[in-house]
Amino acid sequence: MATTEQIRNPIEWGWDQLRVLQRAFGATGHALGGAEKVTATVRKISVDDLRDALARGAADFAACRTDVIFLCLIYPAAGLFLAHLAFGYDFLPLLFPLASGFALIGPVAAVGLYEMSRRREQGHHATWADGLGVIKSPAAGAILVLGLYLLAIFIAWLVVAYGIYSMTLGPQPPASATAFVSAVFTTAAGWAMAVIGIGVGFLFAVAALTISVVSFPMLLDRDVGLYPAIATSIRAVAANPFPMAVWGVIVAGGLVIGTIPFFIGLAVVIPVLGHATWHLYRKLVPR
């Protein structure tokens, strides 16, 4: 029983911290509507637009790679910390949910990259300092609140993922990493956990993508406020279900590739995807 509490306590702590932060920023909710009242137009795009956005994102990365890699070294470091946590403190069943959670909270981490792409688009030289300068943006409060929403989705995913493990291979933690991997791939309970987990995780990913793919860059670009930005993001996804589904697969696949070599690839994958997301926003929401 004590071991089970070691796994659950960080989740419960996360919920407590989230409630504290939500109370702190709840008072500012009335001010998140923004000054710009015109409903933004949403374009229909194609898979070719995704390719172009990725190409432009790669070009931004190539132009700023020294600054961007410096800015993004935190991602592999965070990944290695999660791996150490999983293997050192009985968090092994949550290793995959934690790693896949990069896709849920990645848009928050990429806000500085959006700003760098925005500055390059305007003809300015962009550095890592410009990326960090987002905290001084008029939209910083709205960006923070939206980040809390994604954090809530991430925590909910961890809670559900642990519940799926408990109902299949759990509730006791695995005896070793080898035993856990063997159980996942060679037992009916392991297959059930994988199939159910992937299906449920997909729904969480869709929710995170839908509310964030346009809203974060839009908050930096226009004074529309949080809720109009989220509404525009939802409309953009609804108007382009197939291209946005492909984009979701590209993001998920890129993050998986980035985590394979000890998470080091995330220092390249995340900035390319982050810069590309800015250009995808430009294609979805015209100026």
Q: What local confidence, expressed as pLDDT, does residue 113 receive?
A: 85
Instruction: Find where tokens 């839009």 sit.
Output: 218
Q: What local confidence, expressed as pLDDT, does residue 257 receive?
A: 79
d(CA 91, CA 7): 6
Asked if 190 contacts 184 with a C-beta cutoff of 8 angstroms, the reply is: yes
Q: What local confidence, expressed as pLDDT, does residue 7 receive?
A: 47
Confidence of residue 31 (pLDDT cuts 50, 70, 90): very low
- For the segment 198-252, what is each residue's pLDDT rounded down to a tens digit? 899 889 989 999 999 999 999 988 878 888 899 999 999 999 999 999 998 898 8
- Summary mean pLDDT of the chain: 78
d(CA 216, CA 128): 18
Residue 110's SS3 state is: coil
- For the segment 74-93, what is each residue's pLDDT rounded down to a tens digit? 555 655 565 565 555 467 77
- DSSP states of 155-192 as a string? HHHHHHHHHHHHHHT-SSPPS-HHHHHHHHHHSHHHHH
Contacts for 274 with CB less than 8 Å, ≥ 6 apart:
57, 106, 109, 110, 113, 114, 117
- For the segment 150-185, what is each residue's pLDDT rounded down to a tens digit? 888 988 998 899 899 989 987 887 877 788 888 888
Asked if 251 contacts 263 with a C-beta cutoff of 8 angstroms, the reply is: no
3-state percent breakdown (helix, strand, coil) of the chain, nearest 5 = 80, 0, 20
d(CA 70, CA 220): 22
pTM for the model: 0.76
Give the end-to-end CA distance of the chain in Å, rounded to a whole number: 57
Q: pLDDT at residue 28 above 70?
A: no
Q: What local confidence, expressed as pLDDT, does residue 213 receive?
A: 92
